[in-house]
Amino acid sequence: MLPGDPARVDRAAQVLDDFRVLGQNREFRVGVGTSGGVPVAVCSTGIGGPSTEIAVVELARLGVRTVIRTGGMGALGAHIEPGDLCVVTEAEREGGAARHYADPEIPALATTAVSEALLAAAPAHFRRPAHRIRVLSCDSYYVGEGRALDRMEERAARRLAEIEAMGVDAMDMECETVLTVGAAMGLRVGAVLVAHASRASDSWLEDYEPAQLAMLRVAAAAARDLVATPGV
């Protein structure tokens, strides 16, 4: 399980059995535990492509077979409310690191078995139905995600219009890298995100904790079920 924020690694203690933190270097905090007897590691990726690339490559070299990004996102469509669970099927590719692993025209797709396992686990932990989404992974949080800054209002507005024209459901900063680099390393890949913000209604979740915890439960249940699914 790959959250961006190192602080979220410790939350896995409430979700996994026998959980212990192994250590932290830079933005990479790592813990291990089990879900229904299946070994599960949690490793924070930090923000954006380069640090996420390092996490995915090194986890693959350590023997991890499936990577699931567990993070937050900003929703674009009004149908996605803050706190909703979203299972990513595809990421639009705007990052830097992932283009070294697959040419830009190759789509960043989740492994179907991973997305289906996440969708199957969701109803036990979320009241509202999970969304299947296409996310834009962008290497810039402010202007790149269309947020107006002083003296950059026009540029940000043009950028937001460009994003809306892509028809994506949401924006984050790591899904593309997890899906592309993970697939290049021969892993099963997926991503499940909580909507931290709705750009349509300009609203934010006041407290991320309950939804993030529920999302980790979904990812842990999916990890357990995926072990019963052979192959990559």
Ligand X SMILES: O=P(O)(O)O[C@H]1O[C@H](CO)[C@@H](O)[C@H]1O
Ligand Y SMILES: O=c1cc[nH]c(=O)[nH]1
Which residues contact ligand Y (rule: CB under 6 A)? 72-74, 141, 145, 171-173, 196-197
User: Tell me, what DSSP letter sits at residue 123?
Assistant: G
Within 10 angstroms of residue 98's Cβ, the number of other Cβ atoms is: 29
Closest separation between CB of residue 228 and ligand X, Å?
Answer: 27
Examine residue 27 and tell whether it contacts ligand X (CB under 6 A): no
Closest separation between CB of residue 166 and ligand X, Å?
Answer: 17
Cβ nearer to ligand Y, comparing 67 with 171: 171
Radius of gyration of the chain (CA): 17
Sheet arrangement for strand 28-35: 17-25, 28-35, 38-43
Closest separation between CB of residue 71 and ligand X, Å?
Answer: 3
Closest separation between CB of residue 205 and ligand X, Å?
Answer: 11
Taking contact as CB under 6 A, which single stretch among the options 53-61, 153-161, 169-177, 217-225 is the one that binds ligand X? 169-177
Examine residue 4 and tell whether it contacts ligand X (CB under 6 A): yes
In this chain, which of 84, 92, 174, 176 binds ligand X, going by CB under 6 A?
Answer: 174
Closest separation between CB of residue 115 and ligand X, Å?
Answer: 18
Lay out the site mask for ligand X across 66-85 (x = CB under 6 A, - = otherwise): -----xx-------------
H or E segment at 189?
Answer: strand 188-198
Q: How far apart are CA 166 and CA 225, in angstroms?
A: 33
Kindly list the distances between the CA atom of residue 60 and the CA atoms of 50, 149, 188, 231, in Å, as whole numbers in the listed order: 16, 39, 10, 15
Kindly list the distances between the CA atom of residue 214 and the CA atoms of 55, 184, 194, in Å, as whole numbers in the listed order: 23, 29, 9
Examine residue 173 and tell whether it contacts ligand X (CB under 6 A): yes
Cβ nearer to ligand X, comparing 166 with 232: 166
Residue pair 32/230 in contact by the 8 Å Cβ criterion: no
Residue pair 57/153 in contact by the 8 Å Cβ criterion: no
Interface residues toward ligand X, by CB under 6 A: 3-5, 47, 71-72, 141, 172-174
